[in-house]
Structure 1
Amino acid sequence: MSAVELIASFVATGRLYGVGVGSTLEELQQRIKFDFVDVLDEDGDSMRRDYGFIEFYLNSGQNWTVSGGSIEMHRLVVHEELIEQWCAAMGEEFPKFLGWDELRTEISRLPDAPTFRLIDQGDFLEYRAPMAKVSVLVNNDHEERGDWLGHGDVWSISLG
Structure 2
Amino acid sequence: MSATRLIASFIATGRLYGVGIGSTLIELQQAIDFNFVDVVDEDGESMRRDYGFIEFYLNLDQDWRVSGGSIELHRLAARSDTADRWRIAMQDHFPRYLTWDELYNEFVNLPNAPSLQNIDQGDFQEYRASETKVSVLVSNDHEERDEWLGHGDVWSVSLG
Give me the TM-score of the superposition, normalised by structure 2: 0.99
In structure 2, what residue type is equivalent to 1:27? Answer: E
- Between the aligned partners of 2:75 and 2:110, the Cα distance in structure 1 is 27
1:147 Cα deviation after fit: 1.0
Aligned to 1:152: 152
Percent sequence identity over matched residues? Answer: 69
SS at match of 1:150: coil
- Between the aligned partners of 1:112 and 1:150, the Cα distance in structure 2 is 30
The gaps in structure 1 that reach 5 residues or longer are none
- Between the aligned partners of 2:13 and 2:95, the Cα distance in structure 1 is 21
Runs of 4+ in 1 over 2 A off after TM superposition: none
CA deviations 1:92-112 (Å, max 9, x no partner) are 010100000000000011001
1:54 Cα deviation after fit: 0.1
Matches within 5 A, 1:54-69: 54-69=54-69
- Between the aligned partners of 2:156 and 2:70, the Cα distance in structure 1 is 7
1:43 Cα deviation after fit: 0.4
Cα RMSD (Å): 0.5
Do residues 2 (structure 1) and 2 (structure 2) align?
yes
- Between the aligned partners of 1:125 and 1:118, the Cα distance in structure 2 is 7
1:22 Cα deviation after fit: 0.3
Aligned to 1:49: 49
SS at match of 2:47: strand
1:2 Cα deviation after fit: 1.2
1:146 Cα deviation after fit: 1.2
CA deviations 1:74-119 (Å, max 9, x no partner) are 0001111001100000000101000000000000110011211111
The gaps in structure 2 that reach 5 residues or longer are none
